[in-house]
Structure 1
Amino acid sequence: MLKALPILPIYQAASAALAPLSPVVLYVRRKWRRDEPDRDGERLGRPTQPRPEGPLAWLHGASVGESLALLPLVERLSARGFTILVSTGTSSAAAVIAPRLPAGALHQFLPLDVPQFLTRFLAYWRPNLALIAESEIWPNLFLAVRRHNIPLLLVNARISEASFQRWRWLPGFIGTLLGAVDLCLAQSEVDAERFALLGARHVKIAGNLKYDVSAPPADRQALAALAVRIGARPVWVAASTHRGEEEIILAAHQIAAQSVPGLLTIIVPRHAKRGGEIAGLAHARGLAVAQRSTEVSENGALPEIYVADTTGELGLFYRVAGIAFLGKSLLPATNGGQNPVEPAKLGCAILHGPHVANFGEVYQVLDEARGAVTVADADTMARVVAILLADAGKSRLMARAASETVKELGGACERIMSAIEPHLAQLSFESRQWQH
């Protein structure tokens, strides 16, 4: 273990010294389309919106999944009278979360982990409460929140075995950071034990907030228009796919289409910018394909492959397809899986690959309840899709099992609100004292 080196002071000094290079970092992020050019200032702690008067709760989720999981807490805290500030780490998360925030809630990008940027951010927004989702452990962020005497809560907290083992090599470093956390609300018993061993002082098990997230919305007009274009055709959706998986999905389509006339396969890539690449793969196989992002008109019949390379429309496609394959699960290189709760809540029978380590618990429960099934290759995928499309009764039973299973797994939001009630009561008391 690296006990002798003063790693935390070194990290703080280095990050502060590298602040002048921030424009280069932001330029690279823009090139990778991870940031919006007109919001670079937010990455430097410069706000782009005014801070409302009154108590403010700040919630941070790095990417799409983490930020969406915070929505139940956002709604509950908003109902308690807090102005809500949600920060994210990626532009894709911002595009998905912003339209789903309640009236009056604000979104900003999280500043880079540089002391002066975070000090600027916190001094402006003056949050009364900070809730950080899952495994976002940024050293300067945690220490800045502590210096500003803001209650810091880890919610929906999780830590993988690999991350746990890496942190164990830096016990003083991680111990100091977790010592700044007032309350750690872990997803599972295993997560709770790992956080406690690494130095978190107050740890409780609250469950997974992702089971409490409402089903993703869909624009009514867009839904009606898409339903007309599909008509009575058999349809399934491959959602949140990653590079390497689309080839397997396209092969499965070709196999299944031999026994399912008129089959429509909708592919929704995890990264919308890959739409052209996926369309090219379909063309190479001789398949008729269209990209949603480049359509001149949203009328007319759809080809056999429809690449839905847009952001924030998964709710639309889950609603028109009763069968959903969840990506990032077919190949070892993309190991992790995607959250199956949303399609389950929208009545989809769920297919997934064998590599779902990030959501292993929920997939295991769904598989056991026969609400989901593992497909490891194109032949298996094609066979399962064909069977479910041919037997509507089997598909409905599978979808119902998935829906009921995720409903039973819910309740984390209630447990978290109960656990943080002492902090909310203290803030309410301090607010009354200040007013008098």
Structure 2
Amino acid sequence: MSVSPSSGYGARPRFWFAAYQLLWHLLLPLAFVRLAWRARHSFAYLHHIPERLGFGYEQPISKDCIWIHAVSVGETRAAQPLIEAYLARGKSILLTHMTLNGRRTGKQLFANAIATGKVRQVYLPYDLCWSVEYFLKTFKPSFGLFMETEAWPTVVFRCKEIGLPLFLINARLSERSARRVNRFGNAGRALFQAFAGILAQTEFDAQRYRSLGVKNVLIAGNLKFDVPLDSKLVAQGKQWQQDLHADGRFMVCAASTRDGEEEIILKAWKDLLQDCIFQKPPLLCIVPRHPERFTEVTNQIRNAGLRFQARSELTEVSSDFAGVEVVLGDSMGEMPMYYGASDLVVMGGSLLPFGGQNLIEACAAGCPVLLGEHTYNFQQAALDAIAIGAAKRISGELLLGQTVALSESLKELLLHSAELAKMAAAAKAYAVEHQGATKNILAALDQQITG
């Protein structure tokens, strides 16, 4: 089904939507100021500015392409198996993002398909009526797939009005987000009801969408279990791990950490090292979630008085780490290597109320995971990983100045290698057991679009 203009505007709640559009127009200058501010770190933030307004596209793409929207890095990686499946069918893909890092990740993952014109990358325009209209008329996709939590009102309502099937796939909805949607009353619920269908990750997610009045909800699983790890990077990590083990050292990876969590982790790490309970002190690798925070985290490590080495300063990861207590993972796209090198992962986003980051990739690399209490963005995945023995929760409060719970949890596992090995085996089993979302989503979409 191709996009064609329509005069119907019955999908959108009129008063609420008019207020939303007015707010967008008022805030539009600030959106460009924000891009300019981020350009301090990379001028690439100022590239493709016209795309954010729905025009200025450099290359055409074949009509009836499949439109997949992956807002940033995590969603782009999660979409990889589905995009590859559609490419294998001979389909063309329009891949949209909202962030620079998401676009960079897509360019890296689908370089060959981009070069041959099978994948076209652009930014999703800001959620203004006229910019969305330009975008849809330019590309005329056959149907659209939004990844995980994205639900831009102008896009969603306009697709419904013109008869363009738009699905929310790999969808997740936390209790907190569901409450937030309900605060908007019928207007908030109408947004999710306007999707042609929602393919949820878990029964928890499906129930929350149904509570919003969405009728067409299916459970398809989580695409992130189907994402292949880069075998070359994992092998590099394993070599790093072997070198550390030969020196009698373990490595802990604090992965995808968020603002405020590094301070907790570094204090716990200092307490752990000061206990002098290890023949050879373990090595901590901190990988911040957002690259723009690398300098800030570097300063935190220095202020903590810990000897550190930045990944960017190493020509090879198997370099000598004698005397080094912390490695800063200030590189992009190397998480499989960090996981491959690690004996234990502390999952960022879960120590403070950020909802947790993805633990699936760590488990696929055979890494046991320590979780804080805040995992509402990955509720089912966290519960399943704990149930199978691949992950454990840190017991106790994780407030600044009170990090005993984390240091004790680290000590308990690092001093019992047999327990670590048992958890590592469970982590791999967990990752394999939950694969299959790609096939489920393809089958459901085939049935709903053609059937």
Change (3 A) 1:280 1:139: same
Question: 1:10 is paired with a residue of what secondary structure?
Answer: helix
Q: Report whether the alignment pairs 1:50 with 2:69.
A: no
Aligned residue for 1:417? Answer: 442
Aligned residue for 2:417? Answer: 392
- Kept in 1: contact 2:388–2:426 (CA 8 A): yes
Change (3 A) 1:85 1:222: farther
Structure 2 length-normalised TM = 0.83
Q: Report whether the alignment pairs 1:38 with 2:47.
A: yes
- Kept in 2: contact 1:34–1:92 (CA 8 A): no
Aligned residue for 1:431? Answer: none
Deviations 1:233-252 (A, max 9, x none): 32121111112221222223
1:227-238 → structure 2 map (5 Å cutoff): 230=244, 232=246, 233-238=249-254
Deviations 1:82-110 (A, max 9, x none): 11222222222223343123731232221
Residue in structure 2 matching 1:239, options 236, 240, 255: 255
CA RMSD, Structure 1 to Structure 2 (Å): 3.1
Question: 1:168 is paired with a residue of what secondary structure?
Answer: helix
Residue in structure 1 matching 2:362, options 343, 349, 371: 343
In 2, Cα distance between equivalents of 1:397 and 1:97: 35
* Farther-moved stretch of structure 1 (222-231 vs 133-142): 222-231
* Farther-moved stretch of structure 1 (153-162 vs 343-352): 153-162
In 2, Cα distance between equivalents of 1:280 and 1:6: 48
- Kept in 2: contact 1:92–1:311 (CA 8 A): no
Shift of 1:290: 2.3
Change (3 A) 1:172 1:424: closer
Q: Report whether the alignment pairs 1:259 with 2:277.
A: yes
Shift of 1:155: 0.7
1:16-415 → structure 2 map (5 Å cutoff): 23-24=32-33, 26-28=35-37, 30=39, 36-53=45-62, 55-101=64-110, 103-104=112-113, 105-216=119-230, 218-219=232-233, 223=237, 230=244, 232=246, 233-257=249-273, 258-260=276-278, 261-293=280-312, 295=313, 298=316, 300-302=319-321, 303-331=324-352, 334-375=353-394, 376=396, 377=398, 378-415=403-440
In 2, Cα distance between equivalents of 1:365 and 1:212: 16
What are the ranges of 5 or more consecutive residues in structure 2 without an aligned counterpart? 1-11, 114-118
Shift of 1:424: 5.3
Structure 1 length-normalised TM = 0.85
Question: 2:266 is paired with a residue of what secondary structure?
Answer: helix
- Kept in 2: contact 1:29–1:35 (CA 8 A): no
The percentage of counterpart residues that share the same residue type is 31
In 1, Cα distance between equivalents of 2:265 and 2:197: 43
Count of aligned residue pairs for this structure pair: 421
In 2, Cα distance between equivalents of 1:152 and 1:250: 44
Question: 1:70 is paired with a residue of what secondary structure?
Answer: helix
In 2, Cα distance between equivalents of 1:168 and 1:80: 40
Counterpart of 1:165, as a letter, is R
Change (3 A) 1:30 1:283: closer
Deviations 1:188-243 (A, max 9, x none): 33433333343434222222222222235654896588568757332121111112
- Kept in 2: contact 1:235–1:264 (CA 8 A): yes
In 1, Cα distance between equivalents of 2:43 and 2:375: 25
Shift of 1:384: 3.8
What are the ranges of 5 or more consecutive residues in structure 1 without an aligned counterpart? 427-436
Question: 2:253 is paired with a residue of what secondary structure?
Answer: strand
Question: 2:112 is paired with a residue of what secondary structure?
Answer: coil
- Kept in 1: contact 2:172–2:377 (CA 8 A): no
Question: 1:364 is paired with a residue of what secondary structure?
Answer: helix
Question: 2:423 is paired with a residue of what secondary structure?
Answer: helix
